[in-house]
Structure 1
Amino acid sequence: MKILLVEDHPELAKSIAGYLAQEHYICEVAGTFDGAREKLALFTYDCVVLDIMLPDGNGLNLLKLLRKEGVESSVIIISAHNALDFKLAGLSEGADDYLTKPFPLPELHARIKAIMRRRSPHKNNLVTFQDISADLESMECRLNGKLLNLTRKETNLLLYFINNKGRMLTRQAIAAHLWGDYTDNLDSVDFVYQHVKNLRKKITDAGGKDYISTVYGFGYKLNAPD
């Protein structure tokens, strides 16, 4: 699951992002209104954790823009304002939840999980492609009912392919999805090749077909067989 944290306080942002990474989320951080809007225009996020008070704008205005532009990401507002008016304003603009600072990080985690369960369009939290199924709650992937022994990164990679089946995904896009902001300081994303190779091997070793095709010089594509 990919999360955008919009928080201008560096220490708090570091603390939240670090905790979510430990819980196996991909968490990117934006400290300004403009920075958050740029990331949301370039990438898709499952959930946005949004502070109201930003140095160059108001989080509620960003929320309005998201909903006006049809962005379907879940939104949890985090704010030091505990007044009922602020909560009602956030929820009426399309936020899914409102959490008052300070809060225990496990509570934020629980709220994220609860929201994603409610918003999941997949019956029983299952995503399927041909003979492959993935449970979004347990993060277990199966081939014809047999459990695949995938790492967390390989599971996220498989889900990314399934959610973008038929589309060519560049190595840069895959790296950004799996590693978030950490790819900004990398000179090369050649390591994506090894992760894709491992995923393909585990699927074929389990008796599955190699649905992932290489688009040489560009990236990869998940295709159903003709």
Structure 2
Amino acid sequence: MARWRALPEGLDPAVAKLVSRLRQLKDASGRTIPELAKDTGYSTSSWERYFGGRALPPREAVEALARVVGADAVRLLAVHEVAEEAWRTQPSAAAVDVSPRLEETENGPPASAGTAAGAEPRRSSVWRSVLIAGAGALVGASATALLMAPGAGARPSAAVARRVIYTCVYSRRDGLWYAGNSTTRTQQLVVDTTGSDVAELQCLLQRAGITPGGIDGSFGPLTEAAVIRAQKKFGLDVDGQVGPRTWAALRG
């Protein structure tokens, strides 16, 4: 088990809680920091900053750590959400760390770790999520086309449902934002709901800078966590469910 250095003086308790939890998961996994770097795709120097409380890890790094060590990602991301809010309000805080992944540092210069909150790297992260979701959709469509082509092998079962691919095509009409999947402003959405209304919700969350975990039309734990973040951001009642008030905030 690593002998950790004391955290920086004046670190917000919410941030300290997150760092302590990350340290515990690292120790319990038995991995070294370089091993975690290799498994998560974030550099050794980035993890040293995260574990030292000198930079707040991005949401994606926390998700990657949870996946590697087998931790509950939803609970860990909830701790990260509170820490992120505290980090941005403390007087000496820099922004959430936007250190590039390992493959980016090998192919080009790293982004500055001192970028201010709300600056371009954070918006770029949102657009990168859009591009990744689009690429995944194209791969899925290509695989389906190959499977259905003549001579591709055994004929697929008729019981297999056709995959629906959702995209985000943003437009603004009458002062409201739409993403091309649904025009609802009142539909009630809860966990386990599926369909185009959920895809619209996910696109609007993404446009607001809150990652829903993908644009798949499925209201799962990550989308629920994103809805909770949005409700806190817009000063709404926090229940993780979507109704008229949440729709109005996201479309406004």
Q: Give me the TM-score of the superposition, normalised by structure 2.
A: 0.31
Bigger Rg over Cα: 2
Would you tell me which structure has more strand in proportion to its own residues? Answer: 1
Structure number having the greater helix percentage: 2
